Amino acid sequence: MIEEILPPGTVAADTAGEHPQELLFAGERALIRDAVEERRREFATVRVCAHRALAALGRAAEPVLSGRRGEPLWPAGTVGSLTHCEGYRGAALASADRWRSLGIDAEPHLPLPPGVTRGIASAAERERLRELARRHPGTRWDRLLFSAKES
């Protein structure tokens, strides 16, 4: 699904299912050793998507470890992004020769939980969200802004 909106020169792999943790590299499994089961399943599936996207980019599969803040550490020469929400996991990658960075995010088309909009949007952005909601009430503009900032 995600490949439909990505720019030329990028690759993606996604799934609505789950991939087993046994498909992870040992270093990746170590990162989730103490995580709850739901987090382990989510992590494994999105990392397998990353491995498949690496293959689509013509790169050998290798571990996608995490940095200090949990960000994915991509192989040298690669930029990418991971996303996950209920029922969807995906990875998008590109060559760092072509792109400086790449960001994706998948979100359900639902209102943000109470208080989140105030935490992610400036006063001017919140006013614009109200205006957009009046003009186009069928779109969850708060969630769209959140997703854009996540990306």
Ranges for all domains in the chain classified under CATH 3.90.470.20? 2-95
What CATH number was assigned to the domain covering residues 2-95? Answer: 3.90.470.20
What H or E segment, with its residue span, contains residue 43? helix 37-56
pLDDT value at residue 129: 97
pLDDT value at residue 4: 86
Average pLDDT (123-144) is: 96
Whole-angstrom distance, CA of residue 77 vs CA of residue 39: 28
Mean pLDDT of the chain: 95
Q: E strands along the chain, which residues?
A: 10-15, 65-66, 72-73, 78-85, 88-95
Whole-angstrom distance, CA of residue 102 vs CA of residue 29: 25
Structure confidence by residue, pLDDT tens digits, 14-37: 999 999 999 999 999 999 999 999
| Local structure of 97: helix, strand or coil | coil
